[in-house]
Structure 1
């Protein structure tokens, strides 16, 4: 005959010891009730049986009291809505707040935290992790990434975005752009990198002249006298003006030493100097900077830049292996 083999204690799940303890306690309570009943029925046989009855009665009362007290902490005994039972479920929020206040006031004080932190070698731990970031099973990195992502998502997006935009705007407003622009122009002229800029301006002027040729002809026609209009000389005058302007632009594009081109370079050099040392010019640049930052389009661009950065941070934190 094959006998059933009960599971050993070390093989049983964690919940089995508690279940066995409840069975043992209930069995002892039933046993004490049986002893009390037998002692009560046979008390007339011997005076010593009274002591056994009193012991069993005390054991039953103590067991019932303990059962009721423990059960009342977590639920209603026997499912009955008895007052002052299920204490923890009904008061869990208040208990949590009280416990948090106790921990904060007694264990999270600056003196206690400082004393604990004083014994922590954070630099050494960080150095060991950076020296072998792939060591272990990667749980530290994954946990830190998830924590960073959870914190970033838990923060108020509107308030955080407003803080970031405000910080970016404050930094940009505190930036003195005029000297930087002046130094960039001066460096470009010193290295000869301003030539393509002038060539681009000349080509732009030539295209603009070609696109607005009718406006120049109309202007000459309106300002010419009746005699010139009657003889048609206004058309010749307009052709001469347009031809002269085209020739001048072509010569400026072909000759780096053209007088007008040299004048333009002198103007650029003066502009670079004024941007670096003229307070009035710096104030004008600062005013333009502030107008650009106050533009709603610029505000939307900064907001979009922050949203893209936030989305990138969340993607990197959620999937650090791919990042």
Structure 2
């Protein structure tokens, strides 16, 4: 299949319309040339009988010359006229790479210049426009839907095994490699110093008191099980009741007295424990051994997998429901940000300044590469296809050159013939 046939098959609806308009203009220009040729033939044949036809012949002759010259000029841009390899024809195809390079340089110099980019961005007022757009609930909802769709697509494209490996490696890097003892000791020391352990002790005592009052039989059986079997049953009962009351009273006393010896003993133990966790090599080694036993088990891999699967399922469900807390939060955040940008001139000015500086720096550093995309793209195009593409875009307008050339040539031929006859009449 030829290049022209390939392009014809791949034309978009817009390009198909351009192709139809180009074909019509070519036929009109060619029709004018044929009309000039017919007029010239008739007037040339009859001018001896009707001298005034000499003016018509001159006009038609000039129109033909202008039409042919401009046909040649227009055709030479895109192909070889009549297939003849005349020098300096088929210009676009033969100089495609130079044209691409020149176009890239033109874009870089005139569109990617720092002054142009900075001036345009500063005149736009990006933050205010963006804020006004985002502050509309309908726009925020639409953008939320797009973000949710993009988020779901990203989640579905992610490799689950790779994410699980990442979670496991991060856990090992930040949980397994550092020593636990000193870190736990420092955290514990701050908690004990601020008295945070008291709330935990109160909770334990409260739960112990509640359990004892709710399960007196279980406590009694636990005490009886430790008494000699030869004691009579009523002795077991007395001991159970006595022990139960003593334990209840003891727990109540500890709960009621902030300075109870048990509480002070717990505080001293915690102080010693936090100190040992930070400075005692034996304690640090024991904690490390416990850590290794916990995290080197297969459960760590299972935990990473379960964590990712749970997070992924929750996010997919939330992003798929426009009324979920996640989507509602995104919408609300977008509207809030838009409102602030629209109303807070100081914030908008800072953001605009940051955007202008960032984009300008980007253009300064990568402007040549951005313009180079044009050059590289044109270089990759097929020469014949490039000519066909450009002709499709501008060829219709260029056909007016042929039409204008026909008209101007006719007027020029008529003027020259009339002036020549006038001058000849003066010297006759």
Normalised to the residue count of structure 1, the TM-score between the two structures is 0.52
Alignment of 1:259 with 2:261, yes or no, is yes
Matches within 5 A, 1:146-225: 149=147, 153=151, 156-159=154-157, 171=170, 173=172, 174-175=174-175, 176=178, 178-225=181-228
Q: Could you tell me whether the CA contact under 8 Å between 1:181 and 1:272 is conserved in 2?
A: yes
Alignment of 1:284 with 2:286, yes or no, is no
Deviations 1:121-152 (A, max 9, x none): x99x99x89xx986567589899x96x95995
Matches within 5 A, 1:71-86: none
Q: Could you tell me whether the CA contact under 8 Å between 2:132 and 2:339 is conserved in 1?
A: no
Q: Could you tell me whether the CA contact under 8 Å between 2:130 and 2:338 is conserved in 1?
A: no
Q: Could you tell me whether the CA contact under 8 Å between 1:185 and 1:272 is conserved in 2?
A: yes
Greater fraction of residues in helix: 2
Q: Could you tell me whether the CA contact under 8 Å between 2:168 and 2:300 is conserved in 1?
A: no
Q: Could you tell me whether the CA contact under 8 Å between 1:36 and 1:56 is conserved in 2?
A: yes
Matches within 5 A, 1:299-314: 299=308, 302-303=311-312, 311=327
Higher RCO (CA 8 Å, separation ≥ 6 residues) = 2
Q: 1:317 to 1:257 in 2, by over 3 A?
A: closer
Normalised to the residue count of structure 2, the TM-score between the two structures is 0.42
Alignment of 1:315 with 2:321, yes or no, is no
Deviations 1:236-294 (A, max 9, x none): 11112212222222222233443333332232123322443424315535765785785
Aligned-pair Cα RMSD in Å: 5.8
Give the distance between the partners of 1:38 and 1:205, measured in 2 at CA: 119
Q: Secondary structure at the match of 1:196?
A: helix
Give the distance between the partners of 1:293 and 1:274, measured in 2 at CA: 31
Q: Could you tell me whether the CA contact under 8 Å between 2:220 and 2:240 is conserved in 1?
A: yes
Q: Could you tell me whether the CA contact under 8 Å between 2:155 and 2:312 is conserved in 1?
A: no
Cα deviation for residue 301 of structure 1 reads 5.6
Q: Which residue of 2 aligns with 1:95?
A: none
Q: Secondary structure at the match of 2:210?
A: helix
Structure 1 residue runs of 5 or longer lacking an equivalent are: 1-18, 71-98
Q: Secondary structure at the match of 1:228?
A: coil
Aligned residues between the structures = 259
Q: Could you tell me whether the CA contact under 8 Å between 1:213 and 1:242 is conserved in 2?
A: yes
Q: 1:249 to 1:233 in 2, by over 3 A?
A: same
